[in-house]
Chains A and B, each alone.
Chain A
Amino acid sequence: MTAGLPFIRAENLSYAYPAAGGRPVLERIDLDLGAEPYLLVGGASGCGKSTLCRTFNGLIPHFYGGRLSGSVSVGGRGTRDTPVARLIDRVGLVFQNPEAQLFNRTVAREIAFGLESLGLDRREIGRRIVDAAAAVGIETLLERHPHHLSGGEQHLAALAAILALRPRVLVLDEPFANLDPATVLGLRRVLAGIGEHGRSLVVCEHRLNLTAPDAGRMVVMVGGRIVADGPPDRVLENLPSPWGLEAPLAAAVSRRLGLAPLHLDLDQIPLGPGAREMLADLTVPPRKSAACGEMVLEVEGLAGRAGDHQVLRDVSFNLHRGEVTALVGANGAGKTTLVRHLNGLARPLRGRVAVAGKETRRWRASALARHVGVAFQNPNSQFFKLTVAEEIRVGPLALGCLDENWLARLAAWLHLTDLMDRAPFRLSGGEKKRVAFAAALAHHPGILVLDEPTAGQDAFFRRALADLLVRLAAEGGAVLMVTHDLAFAERCASRWLVLCDGVIAADGPPETVMADPALMRRSHLVPTERFRLAARLEEIGAAGSGGMPCGRRGRV
């Protein structure tokens, strides 16, 4: 196969899962890919991106069954007639959930598994293990157990296991969903390197600011159909709201400056002296309620461990009513461990955690739930009722505080009213998360803790969540949000807590935290696009005079 020609071809492709009652998830898709180094597939949750990826290596229809019409061919071979195992050295697929694709005892064995399937000799397997690990920078992890790695490291191990097979096309489903910002930057560099070596990348991702600058082509899917296909700068010129995508800030900046085509890498946009006035409103920090009511949670000198490792050394902070706070930090910094201490699931080694003035070590976690509602990252860990309505009532019934009016308001806020009779397990990922938030809030706790609420979620979900947080803060709730999504944290949280090396390394407004480059580096954080733009404009202002910005004037 020569570079420049399509390697995968989908023709008039339609597909329905067996359990979907014949409802098509993909409809009349025509797509050629493999000619360009980097294809970005965008679209709201449930639009069919992941399903499309599974047709490229034959998992659909071989593994899933269902009804497929039209055809997909890989290097000229139809996937319908070619077993999945025969395509592994042509199309490599890295799934969204790394834990569910790592099934060996060491990372080296994980990488070796696919190579053994190819029937390679031992020396070649050894060589490829070393090469793949070096390509993604995990040479030191080869003898570690995959399930003992951080989420970011697991992603890299899964990527290395596929990369070692040297597939012509590498498909990644939401590769950045659970990674801290610095790891995302590292992975972006790795992916750019792969694209330069004659292979093609297909990346499905919601966060376009992380992918559009690197992609040469972008496809947008809505309701199982392709509605846009072209260079990202052209596709992002017009991004209708129903597509559920959020254009990178760079696109808005380019438009203001009259740059054509759009520049999608914010740091590469040339800014002249007059840009400061033209872009002023884009750099204003989002307005958040900074109302600070009574203290509802107090953490003092907390030390705690996750498994055998002490990850919290000396953590101290307070939460107040009416305040949305973001807890940020690197993968593996101990954020989830800290959350487990806040609602009594874990007992402090030292120090104290007090809720409503009472120490958590004196309470059962199930009793403390009355005051602290927690929605963990994986909502599937809690669903056991047949309908959403029953699922949401479980907590209030157990705690003896059922309030139907409050539940009705919650359902309306979280757009769950139409889903109340549905089975929670049958919902989409975003819908499940909303049900989990409702369940955490159903007994009206004074403190709400959300663990990675926006991971893998689209713009619709993020907007709904932002609205919910504003409402909760206005009603006097205290919200703590654990997140790697700094753009969302900047939009919604008036205060950031940075967890680094087992202590709260910074506690303050986002602008103050992001202004400390050493702290940001140490904590694996990267300033938001808005902050970086403001900093560049400030430099221009400090440098002196006004005048024309680079690029054409017009459309200002």
Chain B
Amino acid sequence: MLDPRARLALACGWGGTVAAAGRPWTVVGAYLVLCLAVAGWRRCAAYGRWLRLVVPMALFFGALTVWAAGMEAGGVAALKLLALTTTFFLFFETTAPEDLGSSLVRTGMPFAAAFVFTAALQFVPVIGRKARAVIDAQRSRGIRLEPGWAALRHWPAFLAPLLIQAFTLADELAEAMEARGFSRPGRSFHRDFRMGPADWTAVAGAAGLLAAGIGWL
């Protein structure tokens, strides 16, 4: 398996190529390769759930572009957004945030900064669960927070408990981390990451891809 930093470079290279590509068939090809990779890594179920969130966004973005620049540009814009998000979906599905953090620390990033980055990634689903719990609790006592315009009238009933719980959770986590030595100097790492020849080849490939995307595709 490639080092997380090499994988990050590949994801950035592929994403950059997609973003820079001018020809529609290049974007279609890039997206098809990504779909094959999703299937190869057996992430179809998770990808299906991800698409439910991303497709409406892509359609909205595409529709705006159709209105401003025409049909073909709109289709390419929607597909680019889909391909870009799929690139990073694959990256985060196949790379543990802690591994990415540890490898970045080896590159020289301070541990605290790397940890904040990885913790932020991990706590998106936790906050999502808290949000669902708030909605459930409020609906259970008669407050209309079902999807729809009526929910907008009751935004304080959703936002206030969620924000307070998010702050409380942050405090509790900081306390738990400190109780396990977060700020103790001299940290070691259970997994050691070193860039090998394969990783450097991947980085070079990513750079080549990006250059090709900008120059010829």
Contacts and interface: CB of A to CB of B under 8 A. Distances in A.
Interface in B67-91: none
Contacts of A119: 184, 186-188
Contacts of B189: 116, 122
Given A103-B177, A109-B98, A366 B188 contact: no
B180 to A, nearest CB: 4
A206 interface: no
A126 interface: yes
A62 B181 CA distance: 13
Contacts of A372: 140
Interface stretch (A78-86, A311-319, A531-539): A78-86
Contact of A125 (B165, B178, B190): B190
B62 interface: no
B160 interface: yes
Nearest to A125: B190
Given A369-B142, A380-B161, A398-B143, A84 B176 contact: no
Contacts, number: 176
A147 interface: yes
A439 B183 CA distance: 42
A496 interface: no
Contacts of B98: 104-105, 109
A396 B137 CA distance: 15
Contacts of A57: 179
Nearest to B183: A85
Contacts of B137: 376, 381-382
Contacts of A519: none
A380 B165 contact: yes
Interface residues of B, number: 53
B190 to A, nearest CB: 4
A118 B192 contact: no
Contact of B141 (A104, A120, A378, A439): A439
Nearest to A123: B190
A121 B97 contact: no
B122 to A, nearest CB: 6
B141 A85 contact: no
B142 to A, nearest CB: 4
A366 B150 CA distance: 12
Interface stretch (A92-100, A292-300, A468-476, A481-489): A92-100
A422 interface: no
Nearest to B192: A122
B146 A116 contact: no
Given A147-B126, A425-B164, A382 B141 contact: yes
- Interface range, A side: 35 or more
A376 B188 CA distance: 41
Contacts of B142: 366-367, 369-370, 394-396, 398-399, 443
Contacts of A340: 136
A113 B144 contact: no
Contacts of B172: 95, 97, 100-101
A326 to B, nearest CB: 20
B179 A382 contact: no
A112 B190 contact: yes
A38 B10 CA distance: 54
A126 B176 CA distance: 22
Contacts of A394: 141-143, 157
Contacts of B136: 340, 345, 365, 376, 381
B8 to A, nearest CB: 17
Given A101-B176, A114-B181, A395 B188 contact: no
Contacts of A406: none
A340 B125 CA distance: 20
Given A122-B188, A162-B180, A364-B146, A103 B141 contact: no
Contacts of B191: 122
Contacts of A440: 140-141
A59 interface: yes
A384 B189 CA distance: 42
B156 A88 contact: no
A105 B97 contact: yes
Nearest to A85: B184
A103 B184 CA distance: 17
A115 B181 CA distance: 9
A176 interface: no
B168 to A, nearest CB: 7
Contact of A364 (B123, B144, B179, B181): B144
A165 interface: yes
Nearest to A171: B179
Closest 3 CB pairs of A and B: A117-B181, A101-B176, A85-B184
21 contacts: A63-B175, A83-B183, A88-B184, A92-B179, A103-B123, A103-B173, A105-B98, A109-B96, A121-B188, A122-B189, A345-B139, A365-B139, A369-B141, A376-B137, A381-B134, A381-B136, A384-B157, A394-B142, A394-B143, A398-B141, A398-B144
Interface of B: 45, 96-98, 119, 122-123, 125-126, 129-130, 133-134, 136-146, 156-157, 159-161, 164-165, 168-169, 172-184, 186-192
Given A85-B182, A119-B186, A366-B139, 8 more contacts: A88-B180, A95-B175, A95-B179, A106-B96, A113-B177, A118-B188, A374-B140, A394-B142
